[in-house]
Structure 1
Amino acid sequence: MTTRRSVLALGGATVAAAAAVPALGTPALARPHPFAPEPGSDGVGDPLFPTLGNGGYQVTHYDLTFDFTPVTYDFTGTVKISAKATQDLSAFNLDTDGHTIDSVTVAGRPARWELTSGQSGQELTVTPARPLRDHQAFTVEIRYRGNGKAPRLGLTGWNFGSDGGFASAAQSSRADTFLPCNDTPSDKATWTFHISAPKGFVATANGELTHRTPRADGSTVWHFALRERMATELIGIAVVKGTYLYGSSHRGLPLRHIVPQGQEDTYAPVVARTADHLAWLEAKFGRYPFSVYGLHIYDGYTDALENQTLSLFATSWFKPNAQGQPGYETTMVHELVHQWFGDSVTPHDWQQAWLNEGPAVYYAGLYGEERGWSVLADKMKATYEKLDAVRAADGPPGRPDALGGTNIYDGGALVLYALNLRIGGRAFDKVMREWVKRYKDSTYTTEAFIRHTVHVTRDMSLDGFLRDWLFGAVNPPMPGHPDWKATA
């Protein structure tokens, strides 16, 4: 994600999970555990968002039907969730915010439900007609409705444009303003979408557009399928007055972009740069990890965000810099890097976000340097000089107190810059390439990255080196630059 300002997240205490210790001795016969259903937890203990997500189950698939009316912003939705219990469940929670719940079923049977206030939104507690067994696959169907501009307990993911439509920007805790879900990056799932748009509007969503269904009232239902797993915070649905522009990468990957109606000529040359950006990054990381990519450019959004397979950009990003150069391409590269780092390889919790943002800042800076628009070393030196103060105020890159700060963005890039100088460019490229290959379509932790780096390089000293950079109270010396000093 690229923002013009820091966005602070509410902190909270980590929820510790108690482990049962078996009694000593060997039983004569192994016995199955007794069926003892209990409610799943109403949070997964994320260090920065302790009440996000829910325990007791894992989602395997979301099927979302979303019927939105532009200008009035009313909507109705049905979400069908396929999941698997991870314990004996008497009840379980979903994250939601600002919705009127009309009905809930579990395994096709009406379920009891309760809507209560939570710390970052609302908690929807569902009690199935019959308790669920550990490892049992089950389905949940929730019918709900609301208004995009209605008040919410937490932040909203809705962004409204001059056309009366909307685009979603759910990172990091706002997917629950569009649908009841298990809103944690650690629970990735596949998705299908069925988004309606009236005449004159188009719908967008993550993944491939599979088909469209016309309706008698002149509206159209747009159907999308995302076959690779996605975290809820990367949902990219929209209903806008836009035009689809199509193309392909140099190796044939389908590209589809959505630009404002009437501004096709303005943005066609901009989105056409995506093919070269993909080629540049695929040379570094290997093949792009999904089956489609594109940009959604919209005047209802003010920043840039890496929604999976469909990055969202403000119209205001695409202006030449003071030297007349297309410096905005570095932001395009930044969000494209995220398709590998953050979308395909996703943080297990939000305190690991430096390894989303650090690579995005680092490679965007490297791209700008190769084109003569900037000097990466100058940017890293300026970051080094101020990062000690940031560490003291906001936490070190690997243990931030909140999201959106310099510590995880430029500070995360500085960690990678230091690692490159320490081990050399060839070894560094191998570490990064093998990382996104090994953890494709899964989640990671910082500890896993440290172990991975040591394994790839066979250099045990990098364990302490990375820990000092990621968790230390002050910057370690920069390899090759003993003259770099903190200025505050």
Structure 2
Amino acid sequence: MTTRRTALRLGGAAVAAAAAVPALGPAATAQPHRFDPKPGSNGVGDPLFPTLGNGGYQVVHYDLAFDFTPVTYDFTATVKINARATQDLSAFNLDTDGHTIDAVTVSGRPATWELTSGQSGQEFTITPARPLHDGQAFTVEVRYRGNGKAPRLGLTGWRFGTDGGFASAAQSSRADTFLPCNDTPSDKATWTFHISAPKGFVATANGELTHKSRRADGSTVWHFALRERMATELIGIAVVKGTYLYGTSHRGLPLRHIVPQGQEEKYGPVVARTPDHLAWLEEKFGRYPFSVYGVHIYDGYTDALENQTLSLFSTNWFKPDANGRPGYETTMVHELVHQWFGDSVTPNDWQQAWLNEGPAVYYAGLYGEERGWSVLEDKMRATYEKLDAVRAADGPPGLPKALGGTNIYDGGALVLYALSVRAGRRKFDTVMREWVKRFKDSTYTSEAFIRHTVDVTGDRSLDPFLRDWLFGAVNPPMPGHPDWKATA
């Protein structure tokens, strides 16, 4: 993904002043750019994953053709990447892990390449036949193959079900186990997918299903297009024994869900709750940011994940709680919140992840409270009491030492709760709604959120307030709750 850039502009008064200065000599002529190709960096400097992603270029589009054989887990694939150089490039890297590379071309010409070990996977260094100029558009085509269960240098993004198929759960750095890519959330791109599935199986991917094509061997290629940009970690491909269930939201948004084959009656009522979830969140954030949504329920996964336009859930989630209530709906809302916070508005690096998970926890808790299942204030108080110890061990919400901790999830929600109390609910709601509108299809940092909050509220005191909550070693006092104390 590309981050927004701000051009410096010379103000009118400065222009007038400059024009009033008499010329002292002949005008300087612009020096031509000296072509000086160098290798792109093998990482983008993510604080938590220093070698994640690569420098020297930005991806515009991925086109992935993926031919998978269930049960054996063998696959062959081709990825075509449209990109633009951001420096003069003699060579550049992609992230990959566990693949056999068969051929590489850059802009149609055969390229040389090398695989070496990296910190979380492999570094795939490509040297084009001709160096690339800064600003030059170019294409990369990689033909590769492998096996879903083959060893990797790092963790795998593959999840295998009892049906012999798979689903992808690539967050935060495992998209490279499915395809060579620039595996950083800071480089979003549009996508097309062509996923093959044999008879009895269906394929899934992010975005809209554009068409299907039958092959002579009886298999079907499913073609998908994701027209909004997506970070690699949100890839949602799968080949499973499943059934597509279709519907629309109350506003007419197309919905498509995939449930286990033969269990349509069990999961049909579950996915049918999605239109109400969408309506509840659209009242708070505005229109859903993509052109399609859906839920994929699969026994090969044990958690819940916000793959863009197609959230992935374990079959184990969907059981009534001890009181017979559908408490799992809060998890469905949690992942749907991510379509705005994390998928449409994406962290520039992984140390910003509190603003993915904080809103998801906060609004899921608010949804449960409105239905009488829980009390958000009680949850926030319990988090407050424990968060000092978490800050000491794992870092504050805005400076985590790793992903997945309470500091990012409940701690991030606590930051938002404190802001809602301090600023007032109406101003807080405006901050959150305008945030996802202002930064739609873009990336963010904590600094950007602080500036945004001050801009929207007009309250400069919220700058130090948020800095204390996000970066401080201990909890600040909770507004409106002077009795709240840390227990450790």
Q: Distance in 2 between matches of 1:231 and 1:169?
A: 13
Deviations 1:80-106 (A, max 9, x none): 000000000000000000000000000
Deviations 1:194-235 (A, max 9, x none): 000000000000000000000011100000000000000000
Partner SS for 1:222: strand
2:140 matches 1:140:
yes
The equivalent of 1:313 in structure 2 is 313
Summarize the alignment of residues 79-98 of structure 1 with structure 2, pairs less than 5 Å apart.
79-98=79-98
Q: Distance in 1 between matches of 2:170 and 2:332?
A: 19
Q: Distance in 1 between matches of 2:256 and 2:27?
A: 61
Partner SS for 1:332: helix
The equivalent of 1:398 in structure 2 is 398
Matched to 1:344, the amino acid is S
> Residues 306, 27 of structure 1: CA spacing in aligned structure 2 closer, same or farther, 3 A cutoff?
farther
The equivalent of 1:202 in structure 2 is 202
TM-score in terms of structure 2 length = 0.95
Summarize the alignment of residues 130-279 of structure 1 with structure 2, pairs less than 5 Å apart.
130-279=130-279
Partner SS for 2:43: coil
Matched to 1:29, the amino acid is T
Q: Distance in 2 between matches of 1:265 and 1:50?
A: 46
1:185 positional shift:
0.1
Matched to 1:396, the amino acid is P
The equivalent of 2:362 in structure 1 is 362
The equivalent of 2:50 in structure 1 is 50
The equivalent of 1:342 in structure 2 is 342
Partner SS for 2:381: helix
TM-score in terms of structure 1 length = 0.95
Identity of aligned residues (%): 88
Partner SS for 2:247: strand
The equivalent of 2:17 in structure 1 is none
Partner SS for 1:364: helix
Q: Which runs of 5+ in 2 are unaligned?
A: 1-25
CA RMSD in angstroms comes to: 0.9
The equivalent of 2:73 in structure 1 is 73
Deviations 1:414-473 (A, max 9, x none): 000000000111000000000000000000000000000000000000000000000000
Deviations 1:386-433 (A, max 9, x none): 000000000000000000000000000000000000011100000000
1:27 positional shift:
8.2
1:30 positional shift:
1.1
Q: Distance in 2 between matches of 1:285 and 1:442?
A: 16
Q: Distance in 1 between matches of 2:361 and 2:33?
A: 49
Matched to 1:172, the amino acid is S
Q: Distance in 2 between matches of 1:481 and 1:117?
A: 51
Q: Which runs of 5+ in 1 are unaligned?
A: 1-25
Q: Distance in 1 between matches of 2:219 and 2:33?
A: 53
2:320 matches 1:304:
no
Partner SS for 1:33: coil
Q: Distance in 1 between matches of 2:169 and 2:77?
A: 18
Partner SS for 1:116: strand
Deviations 1:97-124 (A, max 9, x none): 0000000000000000001110110011
Partner SS for 2:87: coil
Q: Distance in 2 between matches of 1:373 and 1:420?
A: 21
Matched to 2:238, the amino acid is A
1:33 positional shift:
1.8
2:458 matches 1:452:
no
Q: Distance in 2 between matches of 1:160 and 1:452?
A: 42
Q: Distance in 1 between matches of 2:90 and 2:155?
A: 30
Q: Quick check: which has more Rg, 1 or 2? A: 2
Runs of 4+, deviation exceeding 4 Å: none
Deviations 1:338-373 (A, max 9, x none): 000000000000000000000000000000000000
The equivalent of 1:23 in structure 2 is none
The equivalent of 1:124 in structure 2 is 124
2:57 matches 1:41:
no
The equivalent of 2:15 in structure 1 is none
Q: Distance in 2 between matches of 1:398 and 1:178?
A: 30
The equivalent of 1:485 in structure 2 is 485
**Matched positions, count:** 464
Q: Distance in 2 between matches of 1:156 and 1:52?
A: 15
Q: Distance in 1 between matches of 2:32 and 2:56?
A: 19
Q: Distance in 2 between matches of 1:292 and 1:180?
A: 26
The equivalent of 2:11 in structure 1 is none
